[in-house]
């Protein structure tokens, strides 16, 4: 568990102030322990070396005003500036901004770009944005999207806005809508899938999410938007926010998402790849929330990427030819 580089810090006791009231303890530690790898931070929590009011705390624990946090000695790596993004990557990030005001910034996140770096992945989107928009004194992620999913991704420009957004996402006050191309011709109208979800680990060590009776309550609404002879474009509205929820629920009702190599159907993916699909067809296309400053509703739309729109156009042409 020792990290060879850098110098160990002494035990610290941190008293939580108003700026960190309501923040998850894992996110607090990740920002507090600069230069310490994410895996090490989570190991400290898992093994009980971090204490909140002299007790163990899970990574999702929400800090409260006045909490006493024991931060153990850790060895940090010397901080290095993130590599400068290429001009192409810099332009991609700037062109992905679809909304910005004094408190919020929203990206149409490109598929394949991880939100956070690490685990062999390239530099994460959060760090890239902080480099590209170095004019911003504060910019923090309000929620997450899977690496392979594109679409609306919200950032806060100050701590108060971040806390407001965290509360809205936590309490189910944000209306999120995704577009997904799924296998098969949909029958009937809107459908709610409420199968509970749990985590499992395969013999290979791979982690997956699966429908489990003893899992966490989960619900996704699917609404058909366009029918094709061998596929359906659906709008998916996650009522809860479990990992890979839309993908697992879609596969569970025999309508796996096109391009899903983890939960999808091999033959369907092969056919979609033959037609030019090179990614997961899942896109966070709409998001509605309450603005953290003015208290008014705000609605944001992220247009489909060209690659996904081309797949739909090809399906339309194929339907017309039948």
User: Which positions are catalytic?
Assistant: 146
Q: Is 204 exposed, middle or buried, given 0-12, 13-18 or 19+ CB atoms closer than 10 A?
A: exposed
Tracing tokens 């010397």 back to the chain, one arrives at: 78
Between CA 255 and CA 261, with CA 259 as vertex, the angle to 5 degrees is 95
Between CA 315 and CA 322, with CA 319 as vertex, the angle to 5 degrees is 140
Q: Nearest CA to 239 among 251, 222, 256?
A: 222
Q: Is 171 exposed, middle or buried, given 0-12, 13-18 or 19+ CB atoms closer than 10 A?
A: exposed
For residue 169, what are the contacts with CB-CB under 8 A and spacing of at least 6? 142, 143, 241
Pairing verdict, β 231-238 and 191-193: unpaired
CA–CA dist 282, 257 (Å, integer): 7
CA–CA dist 118, 6 (Å, integer): 19
Q: Give long-range contacts, CB 8 A cutoff, 24+ apart: 126-130.
A: 127/82, 128/82, 128/85, 128/89, 128/93, 129/93, 129/105, 129/155, 130/82
Helix (H, G, I), strand (E, B) or coil at 181: strand
């Amino acid at each position: 568990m020792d990290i060879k580089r850098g110098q160990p810090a002494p035990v610290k006791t941190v008293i939580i102030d108003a700026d960190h009231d309501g923040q998850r303890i894992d996110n607090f530690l990740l920002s507090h322990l600069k230069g310490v790898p994410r895996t090490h931070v989570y190991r400290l929590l898992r093994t009980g070396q971090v204490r909140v009011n002299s007790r163990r705390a899970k990574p999702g624990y929400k800090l409260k005003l006045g909490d006493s946090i024991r931060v153990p000695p850790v060895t940090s790596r010397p901080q290095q500036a993130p590599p400068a993004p290429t001009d192409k990557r810099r332009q991609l990030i700037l062109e992905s901004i679809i909304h910005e005001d004094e408190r919020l910034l929203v990206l149409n996140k490109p598929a394949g770009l991880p939100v956070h770096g690490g685990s062999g992945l390239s530099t994460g989107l959060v760090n890239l944005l902080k480099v590209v928009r170095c004019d911003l004194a504060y910019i923090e992620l309000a929620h997450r999207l899977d690496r392979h999913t594109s679409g609306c991704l919200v950032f806060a420009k100050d701590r108060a806005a971040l806390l407001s957004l965290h509360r809205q996402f936590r309490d189910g006050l944000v209306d999120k809508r995704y577009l997904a191309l799924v296998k098969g011709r949909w029958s009937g109208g809107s459908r709610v899938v409420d199968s509970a979800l749990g985590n499992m680990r395969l013999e290979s060590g791979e982690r997956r999410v699966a429908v489990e009776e003893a899992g966490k309550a989960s619900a996704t609404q699917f609404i058909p938007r366009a029918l094709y002879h061998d596929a359906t474009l659906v709008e998916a509205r996650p009522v809860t926010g479990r990992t890979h929820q839309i993908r697992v629920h879609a596969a569970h009702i025999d309508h796996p998402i096109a391009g899903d190599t983890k939960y999808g159907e091999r033959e369907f993916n092969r056919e979609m790849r033959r037609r030019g699909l090179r990614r997961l067809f899942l896109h966070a296309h709409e998001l509605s929330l309450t603005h953290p400053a003015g208290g008014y509703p705000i609605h944001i739309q992220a247009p489909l990427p060209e690659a996904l729109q081309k797949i739909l156009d090809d399906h339309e042409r194929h339907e017309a030819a039948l």
